[in-house]
Amino acid sequence: MEKSIALFGTSADPPTIGHKKILEELSKIYTFTISYVSNNPYKNHKEDISMRSYLLKTLIEDLDNPNILFNQSVSSQWALESIKKCKRIYELNNLDFVIGSDLIKDIFNWKNFDKINSEVSFLVISRKGYPVESNTLKMLETYKVKFKISTIKIPNISSSKFRSNFNYSDLPTSLIEIVKKNNLYESTKFVE
């Protein structure tokens, strides 16, 4: 039987309790969940990719789950490159690409969308305030996108919410000291 693999790339600026919950839940569904940090070409990141990947790696190490793998070498700002690297490294044919419902309507505009669509199935994680609307469902059907909408329930938190409210309880416990010690996201208090 072929292993089920989830590929979960994130900008993780910073990783939150939402990211932690997603990883924990994916590990119950998939044989392996492979995660990495990327630079999203449509976002301005507050911290550089090396710090964000260090934070995600720390979170994953703290989870201490052999089914959750951190592999920064698959990172690319382009989904197709990350997918191809992952398939090559792990010798995979099938892969579920994890995406939040806040981004699902944007996939049609992604670079190389047609190739991405032929390479993966999408697992859509519902985020509060971002329902998958009927016109998006029609587009998914029109483009013959293979997808499932997950039943995973995640906290209503995002990296951008953390940066605006600076509530440390939104961070996994293992990251709080690192964020404080390195004065990460400090300027956010004054900017937003």
- The answer to whether residues 34 and 3 touch, using CB atoms and an 8 Å cutoff, is no
Which pLDDT score, from 0 to 100, does residue 150 have? 96
Which pLDDT score, from 0 to 100, does residue 1 have? 54
**CA-only gyration radius of the chain, Å:** 16
The tens digit of pLDDT for each residue in 50-72 reads: 999 999 999 999 999 999 999 99
Which pLDDT score, from 0 to 100, does residue 122 have? 98
Domain boundaries, the chain: 5-191
- The CATH label, of 3.40.1280.10, 3.90.1150.10, 1.10.3720.10, 3.40.50.620, for the domain at 5-191 is 3.40.50.620
The tens digit of pLDDT for each residue in 12-27 reads: 999 999 999 999 999 9
Alpha carbon distance 176, 169 (integer Å): 8
Residue matched to tokens 């044919």: 93
Report residues of the chain scoring pLDDT below 70. Answer: 1, 187-192
